[in-house]
Amino acid sequence: MVNVGQLVRKRHGGDGVVLVGFGSHHGSVIAAREWEAPMEEMPVPPARDGSWEDVLHQAGRPDKLLLLDEVRDADDFLAERGHRAIGVVYHPEYERFGNYVATVLPRRYDAFCYVDETRALHPLHLRPALEKMPETYPWGV
């Protein structure tokens, strides 16, 4: 399997292409259980021990932007660790064994945006249930 970033880099080489990865330790997310299934809010359990998300959680301040060019050859970043894959389809119940991809962070991404605790987004194109409607819906001021 390949991701969109790999396809863009293959087509355009390094010419203006920057791959940014995302990760979080815990929280919630909007996803579906399978392709074309209805989206739903799902919990994101605490990251698996030893994963990139776990290491970044333990590394001090909660949110981080890592610019990985500077650490491409640093031993601490060359370890292959699990990196949680959350996309359009997600299964929180497979957290222990199925949601992680073996990753050497600076070999996969140019930058990595880490948010310790996520909150599920509210899709603007859907009319929310009244009890969950954000105060500023839909204009977000």
Asked if residue 131 is part of any domain, the answer here is no
| pLDDT confidence tier of residue 139, bands split at 50, 70 and 90 | low
Asked if residue 8 is part of any domain, the answer here is no
Asked if residue 47 is part of any domain, the answer here is yes
The pLDDT assigned to 98 comes to 85
| pLDDT confidence tier of residue 80, bands split at 50, 70 and 90 | very high
Phi (first) and psi of residue 38, to 5 degrees: -65, 145
Structural domain total, the chain: 1
Asked if residue 36 is part of any domain, the answer here is yes
Task: Name the DSSP class of 93.
Answer: G
| pLDDT confidence tier of residue 21, bands split at 50, 70 and 90 | very high
Beta-carbon neighbour count of residue 124 at 10 Å?
12
Phi (first) and psi of residue 29, to 5 degrees: -150, 155
Asked if residue 26 is part of any domain, the answer here is yes
Beta-carbon neighbour count of residue 68 at 10 Å?
19
- The span from the CA of 68 to the CA of 118, in Å, is 22
Asked if residue 11 is part of any domain, the answer here is no
Taking only the tens place, the pLDDT of each residue in 49-74 is 999 999 999 998 889 999 999 898 89
Phi (first) and psi of residue 97, to 5 degrees: -125, -25
The pLDDT assigned to 133 comes to 58
Asked if residue 135 is part of any domain, the answer here is no
Closest CA relative to residue 124, chosen from 113, 136, 115, 112: 136
114 has which bridge partners? 23, 64
Asked if residue 141 is part of any domain, the answer here is no
